[in-house]
Amino acid sequence: MVLLAPTITRIDLYLKQGSGANILLTVVDKLGNPIVDTTSCSIQAQIKDSVTKELLFEWSTAIGNATLIYSSTPVPKSVAVLTVTRAQSALFNFWIARWDCFLHATGHEPFCLAEGAVIIDSQTTH
């Protein structure tokens, strides 16, 4: 059984347009323990326009660009990994937006793991 953590972490993302990135979020339950059984969980994260709320980019376990991984060594931990490729970020046509990331666990309401601003640095386009 997954007991979801009670707080949302504020994380601002600074991404370089045209560069790939892996965003790593440590995931714990409300007792501070890692989520061992990741099979009953999924991750969904979105970047949306700050004003219009238009969807600009999405990560999810269903799409395959988000995963939830449990590792028992060297220290037990569960980590959500959100991946954006160089090709994907090269197509970003926004500079400032908002993002959030939700953990979905069977039998529980979706829980927001993190949220914040997204800033795209277009000066380093590859």
**Residue ranges of domains in the chain, CATH in brackets:** 19-124 (2.60.40)
- pLDDT > 70? residue 124: no
pLDDT (tens digit per residue) in 112-122: 999 999 999 98
Q: Please, what sign has the CA dihedral across residues 16, 22, 85, 40?
A: negative
pLDDT (tens digit per residue) in 11-57: 999 999 999 999 999 998 777 888 898 998 999 999 999 999 999 99
Tokens of 63: 């799409």
Write the DSSP string, 50-106: TTT--EEEEEETTTTSEEEEEE-SSS-EEEEEEEE-HHHHHT---SEEEEEEEEEET
Q: Report the predicted TM-score, pTM, of the whole model to 2 decimal places.
A: 0.88
Tell the residue number behind the tokens 């060297």, with chain if given: 74
CA triplet 9, 24, 16: central angle to 5 degrees?
100
Distances (CA, A) of 100 to 11, 21, 34, 53, 61: 9, 16, 20, 12, 15
**63 Cβ neighbours under 8 A, 6+ residues apart:** none
- pLDDT > 70? residue 5: no
pLDDT (tens digit per residue) in 77-104: 999 999 999 999 999 999 999 999 999 9
